[in-house]
Amino acid sequence: MGFPLLSFVVFTPAAGAAILMFLRGDDAVRWTALGVTILDLAFCIAMLAGFDTTSQAMQFTESRQWVPALGITYALGVDGISVLFVFLTALLSWICVLASWVAIDRKVKEFMISLLVMQALMLGVFCALDLFLFYVFWEAMLIPMYLIIGVWGGDGRLYAAFKFFLYTLAGSLLFLIGVIVLYFQGGRTFDILALTAQVLPFQVQSWLFFAFLIAFAVKVPMVPVHTWLPDAHVQAPTAGSIILAGVLLKMGAYGFLRFSLPMLPAATVYYSPLMLALSALAIVYGGLLALAQDDLKKLVAYSSISHMGFVTLGIFALNFRGIEGGILQMFNHGVTTGALFLFVGLIYERTHTRSIANYGGLMKVAPVYTAFLALFTLSSMALPGTNSFVGELLVLSGGFTANLAAGAAAVLGALLGAAYLLGMFGNVALGSPSAGFQFKVRDVNAREMAAILPLAVFVLWIGLYPKPFLNIIDVSVQHLLAQVHAKGNGQ
Amino acid sequence: MTDAALFQSILASLPEIVVVTGACVLLILGQFVRKEQEYFLVWASVAVVLIAAIATLMLAGEVRPAYAGMFVADRFAVFFKLVFYLATVLTFFLSRKYADIEGIESSEYYVLLLFALSGMMIMASATDLLSIYVGLELMVLCTYVLTGFMRRERRSNEAALKYVILGAVSTGIFLYGVSLVYGLTGTTQLDAMAAAASGHPVDPGLLLAVVFIVAGLVFKVGAVPFHMWLPDVYEGAPTTITAFMSVGPKAAGFAVILRVFLNPLFAASDVWIIVAVLAVATMALGSFVALVQDNFKRLLAYSSIAHAGFAIFGVVAGGPDGIASVMLYLLIYSFMNLGIFGTVIMMRNADFSGEAIEDYAGLAKSHPGLALLMLLYLFSLAGIPPTAGFFAKFYVLVALVERGFVMLAVIAVLLSAVAAYFYIRIVMVIYMREPGRVFAPALTPLVRATLAFTAAGTIGIGLFPSWFLRLAQHSVLGG
């Protein structure tokens, strides 16, 4: 075993959080947190640089005994499916620190500690190769996220934090039972790779599929278990929203890719029409809800439900284009929606209103802000040349291959997306200021620019030249599909 | 009994003898100790427990049956005795300042705790219905008195009275079951009882006896439908005694339950389903009623009912893993529950009671360190990883699924999601409300040490459960 790079990736933020405990002074805390996230990002870039895109195997693997009596190990590793999310998590965490620089003005130390702990746990989820370890990371995230929403959130934060906590907890606990059943069915091991290699009876797969589905669907979130999301998003501070939209929602989809598809292939194939229908429902329903919103943050939150519908649609299309597009779209959604929440946060800091009706003519007073907002809005709409276009096209092509109706629903969702996003942008940025708009808005400063620019770079980079990103994903997706089709058909 | 057998018996019960002798000596010494020297009693009591602990560990090597099959010193008993020592010593540490504030400082307080400890130790080692009875009564008689120790407080008197009356009824039920067993099989020894009742179908009279014995025992751990005394007694008793009772006597009750329930007579009988129903009902009642409590001690009482329910799920699972899961659960529960009670106890200062949940509003702002500790204990009680509470629940669930009780496991986790709600509600009060009144916590070095120690256990067992898991697995009955 060489240098334990992934352990460094996962535990650098945790170590940073420990250091923060001993610091005094808000600025020292902010700069240290920033330094820690940058260091972690550096580790992630080193990981990406060393990542072998031609191999489907888990890379940078580490494994140690943890609870040998129950076959639990501390095992980390990444493949093409997880490596992008590890990077995305590190990137967005860094942006979160910048986004909370002035937005969080009380209990700064506690906030940054929560943020860094959260980052460590999220990275752990994407790196874990042991189901028990995965579950520990997955469930422990509830603690810092609950605090981030509940302590630093808006006026309705208590209700939102509660709802978030209980929804995800109830979902995850059933997942836990599923994990334990899988442990006994799969020969008393929590090793994800060993469990993937097993073939379980269809009956068992079916039950497990639904146990897992509840947990993952809450996290994604899929309609009808999505109702915690708008509350949580609206009440959370900007950094919390970025993390929720950028990383947390990805975990449900990641769960499908890591567990449901490879471990329960027969059930996945059998129930894929159901999943496609739920995805199509989420796309259209989320779009319609977004169309009806006046609150900026709610609009972005509901659009997330619609966009995550595209992701699950791609995944359960169960063909190469679909899954490839789904994974890319997860990354894109993290970048684009993360940025949109950042923008909502920036404007909220300046005006203390999120009602779209209160804005108008922002282009005149804050041209740089508006220009970047336009870029991310167009990206969210999947305009050609932006990142989401590539992802959405792949998902649609996969979706149409799998099921015509689901594909058609997705196209309808894309149209709805154009409607609410263009409407939002028009009302906020164009025209003349509304009657109630009498704010003095200053344009973005250098610190805010530092948070925006990297996201903008990814929007255009993936939009114009997606090949390096697809290269990372492709081999693993092919391997995953081969597993699903080899073991999944014949029921 | 020959001399050699007597010597062996005394050797096997040496820890109990140490504790009882120590308690007697302290009872006399206590009369001569002046008011300002009472810390001496605390340290002397701790010393007695430590000597007993050393004796226990030295005897842990082999199984020693004693007193003609009424008593046994085995690894199972050793494990439980260690839990009792832990609970007792930490209660001593928490008591000194609290007793001072409440004005209940007297030497009998420590002596009674030591006698209760010896009763619990006898319960863990008892292999005969009669020796179980002796241990049980020794323990509960002491806790009756300790519950009513705040003589000037009506609540305390009322709790003690209620406890005595209901406790006597449950003892009567238990004894009735014992007499039935004796009448039908001619023995009260657990092993002989099992052998006598091995025929199929089991004698209906024996089944009746089993039901009575079960009823008497689950009263002590506060399982539904014998839980009614628990919230009132927990609320009325001095908080230190509540902390002690929620951990020590409860673990002792489970020690007996494991010994008796996992006896072949029970495992083979149709009443086994009762245990599963008990577990579900206990957990459901504890979790749902806790939702509406405003008094922290009452809330913790219902939470302890819910936790007893979860531990009974481990009894239902049975088998080596089931037994080990209950044992590990109780060990972990001792750490986190003594921790959370430690925080309640140190809130009691001057005219501040610390009993209303509202009292904790904004604790995160006024005392961030304490708030963080409470956060840790509460999330552990709720069973969120990486705390020890998660691993405790996890292992019970593993044992349940191993035996094929998947539906029960699902019920257990759904009910623990309900339970999570009220723990999280307290976290909310601590972290998300503005502070109300200013108060100074009664933090003596001993209380600090207790809180630090329980916190270390709560997080340490969660991160490195392996050693403790193996300890529990090695200490399983007959293992």
pLDDT of residue B479: 46
Any A CB within 8 A of B6 CB: no
Q: How far is A142 from A121, CA to CA, in rounded Å?
A: 10
Residues of B in contact with A139 (CB under 8 A): 384-385, 390
* pLDDT surpassing 60 at residue B54: yes
The per-residue pLDDT of chain B, averaged, comes to: 89
pLDDT, mean of residues A433-447:
72
* pLDDT surpassing 80 at residue A386: yes
* pLDDT surpassing 80 at residue B182: yes
User: Nearest CA to B77 among B138, B135, B29?
Assistant: B135
Residue B407 lies in a domain: yes
Residue B432 lies in a domain: yes
Residue B350 lies in a domain: yes
pLDDT, mean of residues A13-36:
90
* pLDDT surpassing 80 at residue B34: no
Tokens of A11: 């535990």
Contact criterion met (CB < 8 Å) for B466 and A166: no
Residues of A in contact with B394 (CB under 8 A): 176, 180
**Predicted structure pTM score:** 0.93
- pLDDT, tens only, B185-218: 888 888 888 777 666 666 788 888 888 888 888 8
pLDDT of residue A491: 47
Domain assignment of residue A134, given as a range:
5-489
Count of CB atoms situated within 10 Å of the CB of B292: 10
Phi, psi of B45 (to 5 degrees): -65, -45
The per-residue pLDDT of chain A, averaged, comes to: 89
* Strand bridging mode A72-78 / B64-66: unpaired
Task: Name the residue of chain B whose CA is nearest to A149's CA.
Answer: B432
pLDDT, mean of residues B66-75:
89
pLDDT of residue A180: 93
Q: How far is A145 from A240, CA to CA, in rounded Å?
A: 7
Query: A70 CA to chain B: closest CA distance, Å?
Result: 9
Query: B128 CA to chain A: closest CA distance, Å?
Result: 33
Q: Mutation test of the interface with chain A: which of B365, B401, B418, choosing the one with the most A Cβ atoms within 10 A?
A: B401
pLDDT of residue B364: 84
* pLDDT surpassing 80 at residue A434: no
Contact criterion met (CB < 8 Å) for A158 and B427: no
- pLDDT, tens only, A275-309: 999 999 999 999 999 988 888 888 999 999 999 99
- pLDDT, tens only, B4-13: 889 999 999 9
Q: Mutation test of the interface with chain A: which of B363, B432, B474, B476, choosing the one with the most A Cβ atoms within 10 A?
A: B432
Query: A134 CA to chain B: closest CA distance, Å?
Result: 11
- pLDDT, tens only, A320-332: 999 999 999 999 9
Contact criterion met (CB < 8 Å) for A173 and B417: yes
Which residue did the predictor score with more confidence, A463 or A363? A463
Q: Is A223 left (phi over 0), alpha (psi -120 to 50) or beta?
A: beta
Q: Per the omega criterion (within 30 degrees of 0), is the bond before B264 cis?
A: no
Residue B332 lies in a domain: yes
Contact criterion met (CB < 8 Å) for B431 and A151: yes
* pLDDT surpassing 70 at residue A234: yes
Task: Name the residue of chain B whose CA is nearest to A70's CA.
Answer: B466
Residue ranges of the alpha helices (H) in A220-319? 228-235, 238-243, 249-255, 261-263, 265-291, 296-316
Contact criterion met (CB < 8 Å) for A143 and B410: no
Task: Name the residue of chain A whose CA is nearest to B422's CA.
Answer: A162
pLDDT of residue A26: 85
Residue B83 lies in a domain: no
pLDDT, mean of residues A339-367:
83
pLDDT of residue A402: 87
* pLDDT surpassing 70 at residue B268: no
Let me know: does A275 contact A310? Beta carbons within 8 Å. no
pLDDT, mean of residues B151-174:
91
pLDDT, mean of residues B116-140:
94
- Is residue A56 classed as helix, strand or coil in its secondary structure? coil
Residues of A in contact with B427 (CB under 8 A): 146
Query: A120 CA to chain B: closest CA distance, Å?
Result: 13
Task: Kindly give the interhelix angle for B129-147 and B154-185, rounded to the nearest 10 degrees.
Answer: 170
pLDDT of residue B223: 87
Query: A346 CA to chain B: closest CA distance, Å?
Result: 24
Task: Name the residue of chain A whose CA is nearest to B378's CA.
Answer: A143
Let me know: does B222 contact B304? Beta carbons within 8 Å. yes
Tokens of A71: 């076959």
Number of independent structural domains in chain A: 1
Domain assignment of residue B340, given as a range:
270-479
pLDDT band at B353; cut points 50, 70, 90:
confident
Residues of B in contact with A135 (CB under 8 A): 385
- Chain A residues within 8 A (CB-CB) of chain B? 65-70, 110, 135-136, 139-140, 142-143, 146-147, 150-151, 157-158, 161-162, 165-166, 169-170, 173-174, 176-177, 180-181, 183-184
Residue B204 lies in a domain: no
pLDDT, mean of residues B44-56:
95
- pLDDT, tens only, B313-322: 999 888 889 9
| Nearest-CB residue to A177 (from B409, B424, B466) | B409
Residue showing tokens 């019970």: B396
Query: B129 CA to chain A: closest CA distance, Å?
Result: 34
Contact criterion met (CB < 8 Å) for A174 and B424: no
pLDDT of residue B215: 86
Which residues have a Cβ under 8 Å from the Cβ of A286 and sit 6 or more positions away? A223, A226, A302, A303, A304, A305, A306, A307, A308, A309, A413
Contact criterion met (CB < 8 Å) for A177 and B413: yes
Query: Mean pLDDT highest for which of A436-450, B24-38, B439-453?
Result: B439-453
Residues of B in contact with A73 (CB under 8 A): none
Tokens of A55: 């191999």
Helices and strands: H and E segment counts in chain B? 21, 2
Contact criterion met (CB < 8 Å) for B413 and A139: no
pLDDT, mean of residues A330-336:
92
Residue B259 lies in a domain: no
Contact criterion met (CB < 8 Å) for A67 and B466: yes
pLDDT, mean of residues B50-63:
92
| Nearest-CB residue to B401 (from A146, A165, A184) | A184
pLDDT of residue A490: 52
Burial of B48 (0-12, 13-18, 19+ CB in 10 A): buried
Contact criterion met (CB < 8 Å) for B466 and A66: yes
| Nearest-CB residue to A136 (from B386, B428, B432) | B386
Number of independent structural domains in chain B: 1
A-B contacts (CB, under 8 Å): 85
Residue B90 lies in a domain: no
- pLDDT, tens only, A463-487: 999 998 999 999 999 989 988 888 8
pLDDT, mean of residues A187-213:
89
* A100-104, B423-427, B434-438: segment of lowest average pLDDT: B434-438
User: Nearest CA to B256 among B477, B12, B17?
Assistant: B477
Cα torsion through A375, A380, A383, A389, rounded to 10: 120
pLDDT, mean of residues B215-225:
86
Query: B146 CA to chain A: closest CA distance, Å?
Result: 38
Contact criterion met (CB < 8 Å) for B420 and A158: no
Q: How far is B30 from A443, CA to CA, in rounded Å?
A: 77
* pLDDT surpassing 90 at residue B47: yes
